[in-house]
Amino acid sequence: MTYDPNNIFAKILRKELPCVKLYEDEDVLSFLDIMPQVEGHTLVIPKEAACDILQLSTTSASRLIMATQRIARAIKSALNPPGIMLMQLNGVAAGQTVPHIHFHVLPRHAGIDMKLHARQMVDSKTLEPVAARIRAAL
């Protein structure tokens, strides 16, 4: 897979597209997924341009996982799910749809089935109250 600098996450990083931001530092950006599988479905992306974990530098990989852990802790604190699922897909055959490495952080509750990707977009006004709770936990 070749990195496409016009992928949706690259456009979000360049502020060409909006997002419901949870966290940002010099290395990573975290925001709510606009096609959430569950309430609080969060994406954590590095600012380094890389398609997948195999192309990402070790420095960015370590900073990405540290940020993912921080976000997961905030989601656990803010939303109190009994479980947290981390999902990271590499390549189309694995289900990756955006060619920019990213982690999904998903609060998990018993009895809620999920697929790899949701199919319905949610308005940012619906996402913002959840984002505020997670930001408060950061």
- Identify whether 104 is a catalytic site residue: no
Tell me the C-alpha distance between 130 and 38, whole Å: 11
B/e letters for 45-80, b = 16+ CB within 10 Å, e = fewer, are bbbbbbbbeebbeeebbebbbebbebbbebbbebbe
Nearest to 64 by CA among 96, 97, 25, 98: 25
Query: Among the residues of the chain, which ranges form H helices?
Result: 8-13, 58-79, 124-137
Which of the residues 41, 102, 104, 109 is marked catalytic?
A: 102
Chain centroid to CA 74: 13
Q: Which residues are catalytic?
A: 102
